[in-house]
Amino acid sequence: MKITMKDIAKEAGVSVATVSHVINGTKRISEEKEKRIWETIKKYNYVPDARAKQLRLQKTKTAALVVSSLPDSYVTGFVNAVGMRARELGYHLLFVNTNENLEHEKETIHLLSSHMVDGIILSPSQSDISYLQTYIDQHLPIVLVNRYDPKITNIPRVVADDFQAGYDATIHLLQHGHKHIGVIYGVPNVSTTNQRIEGYKTALQEHGVPFNEHYLEMGYATVEGGYNAVKTLLNRHQEITALFVLNDAMTIGALKGIHSLLLKCPDDIALIGFGDFEAASVTDPPITNIYLPPDTIGRTAFDILINRINNPNYCKSVSLPTSLIIRKSCGC
């Protein structure tokens, strides 16, 4: 049974008008009542029928960009690209960083859906995004970027070919003779991490190198996390001769960690990073990187969102190729 505003009001012990004021921010309500109303809304995952209203009203020309974190230059570049494309098309852009917090993400999407943005670009904090189905049923245009849930097929997405990226980086290290290759990843159980590691595993298998799950170490997508992950991994597995690091903040930390262990890169430890941050060409040594095109991904995502806004049945997904930028950290 569909939950209505009247149902929310009844359970929260307030009038329908009070619920409406809280949702739309049109009148000051006591903190205690407001908290009770939001708790009831959250309990039933209630979404006001804003989409029906919008059919009778002009579009707001406002879109939202919700990202899971701002860990590196790739995400920053992507955010800037979305903002530029929005301005070119006459849209205002609301920006929210959920800091890898699923509850914050859910609350943000709920709030945005209630306040009549025309559509949302979302980089989700987790792979399981089944909660979004409620909003899709309400005809809220959503486009996924970077991460996605393979079980959800009715939401368009713009992603990099993460499997191929992981495969290409690993093949390059294997061609240099490395058989003990460690991987430092930022966030577990998300599509980007999973696909890059699947590419890594496939490359190992093709070259007859057994996969060792103990060669995987989490670096929390930060410089400090990359630094600590390298020290942990290399102290535990001294046979490792190469590292594949899955974002640029961790890559900076990884290089620092290699140096702190009095090891030389690439002589002792070869290194391939991910994202190709601006300083990668001037580090010592310059870092070989997988490059993702943040500008292309950002602009493509916004264009798909506009198409989705104008045509609710539009559901085009795009997978963009990455490239390997070879410098000296891999031993070339």
CATH number at residue 100: 3.40.50.2300
Total structural domains within the chain: 3
Domain range for residue 258?
162-292
Is residue 154 located within the same domain as residue 300? yes
Does residue 134 fall inside a structural domain? yes
Position 57 pLDDT exceeds 70 = no
Cβ neighbors of 182 (< 8 A, separation 6 or more) are 215, 216, 217, 233, 234, 237, 240, 242, 243, 244
Q: Which two tokens stand for residue 220?
A: 């929390």
Res 52: pLDDT? 44
Question: Which tops the pLDDT comparison, 71 or 56?
Answer: 71
Is residue 23 located within the same domain as residue 99? no
For the stretch 76-91, what's the b/e string if a residue is b when 16 or more beta carbons lie within 10 angstroms of its beta carbon? ebbbebbbebbeeeeb
Cβ neighbors of 224 (< 8 A, separation 6 or more) are 253
Model confidence at 231, pLDDT cuts 50, 70, 90, reads: very high
pLDDT digits (tens, 9 = 90+) for 293-330: 899 999 999 999 999 999 988 999 999 999 999 999 99
Are 250 and 278 contacting, i.e. CB atoms less than 8 angstroms apart?
Answer: no
Instruction: Pick the closest to residue 310 from 114, 91, 134 (CA basis).
Output: 91
Does residue 83 fall inside a structural domain? yes
Are 242 and 181 contacting, i.e. CB atoms less than 8 angstroms apart?
Answer: yes
Q: What is the CATH number for 12?
A: 1.10.260.40
DSSP string, 67-78: ES---SHHHHHH
Is residue 29 located within the same domain as residue 64? no
Q: Which two tokens stand for residue 196?
A: 């890059």
Are 258 and 265 contacting, i.e. CB atoms less than 8 angstroms apart?
Answer: yes
pLDDT digits (tens, 9 = 90+) for 266-296: 999 999 999 877 778 888 899 999 998 899 9
pTM (predicted TM-score): 0.81
- Report d(CA 155, CA 142) in Å as an integer: 7
Res 238: pLDDT? 96
pLDDT digits (tens, 9 = 90+) for 20-49: 877 766 677 887 888 888 888 877 877 766
DSSP state of 287: P
Does residue 330 fall inside a structural domain? no
